[in-house]
Copies of this chain bind each other. A is one copy, B any other.
Amino acid sequence: MDFLPELASTLLAQMQKPTLAFLIGGMLLAAMSSRLDLPEPVYKLVVMLLLLKVGMSAGISVREAELVALAVPGALAVIAGISIVLLGRMTLVRLRGVSEMDGMATAGLFGAVSASTLAAGMAMLDDVGIAYEGFIGALYPFMDVAALLTAIIMARMAAERRAARGDVAQGGVVAIVGGSGGGQGPIMDWGMIRSILMDTIRSPAISALLLGLGLGLFARPDSVFEGFYEPLFRGLLSILMLMMGFEAWNRLGELRRVAHVYVFYGLFAPLVHGLIGLGMGLIAHELTGFSLGGVVLMAVMAASSSDISGPPTLRGALPEANPSSYIATSTGLGTPVAILSIPLWIALAEAFIGG
Contacts and interface: CB of A to CB of B under 8 A. Distances in A.
Contacts of A177: none
Interface stretch (A1-9, A67-75, A208-216, A284-292): A208-216
B221 A32 contact: no
Interface residues of A, number: 53
B21 A48 contact: no
Given A18-B224, A42-B44, A228-B232, A35 B204 contact: yes
Contacts of A223: 18, 127, 234
A33 B235 contact: no
Given A42-B41, A229-B235, A234-B223, A35 B312 contact: yes
Instruction: Say what secondary structure dominates the interface of chain A.
Output: helix
Interface string A1-44: 00000000000000111100110010011001111111111101
Contacts of A234: 223-224, 227-228
Contacts of A203: 35
Contact of A44 (B39, B198, B221): B39
B231 A35 contact: no
A202 interface: yes
A202 B231 CA distance: 32
Given A38-B44, A44-B42, A215-B21, A32 B201 contact: yes
A122 to B, nearest CB: 14
A201 to B, nearest CB: 7
Contacts of A28: 211, 214
Contacts of A221: 18, 21-22, 238
A294 to B, nearest CB: 23
A67 B29 CA distance: 26
Given A229-B235, A234-B223, A234-B224, A202 B35 contact: yes
B219 A21 contact: yes
Nearest to A309: B35
Nearest to A203: B35
A231 B220 contact: no
Contact of A214 (B25, B49, B202, B204): B25
A190 interface: no
Interface of A: 15-18, 21-22, 25, 28-29, 32-42, 44-45, 48-49, 127, 198, 201-204, 207-208, 211, 214-215, 218-221, 223-224, 227-229, 231-232, 234-236, 238-239, 242, 312
A-B interface, 6 closest residue pairs, ranked by CB to CB distance from nearest:
A228-B235, A21-B219, A39-B41, A34-B207, A18-B224, A36-B207
10 contacts: A16-B218, A18-B224, A33-B202, A35-B202, A39-B40, A42-B42, A42-B44, A42-B45, A227-B231, A228-B238
Given A21-B221, A35-B207, 7 more contacts: A16-B218, A25-B211, A36-B211, A37-B204, A227-B231, A227-B234, A232-B235
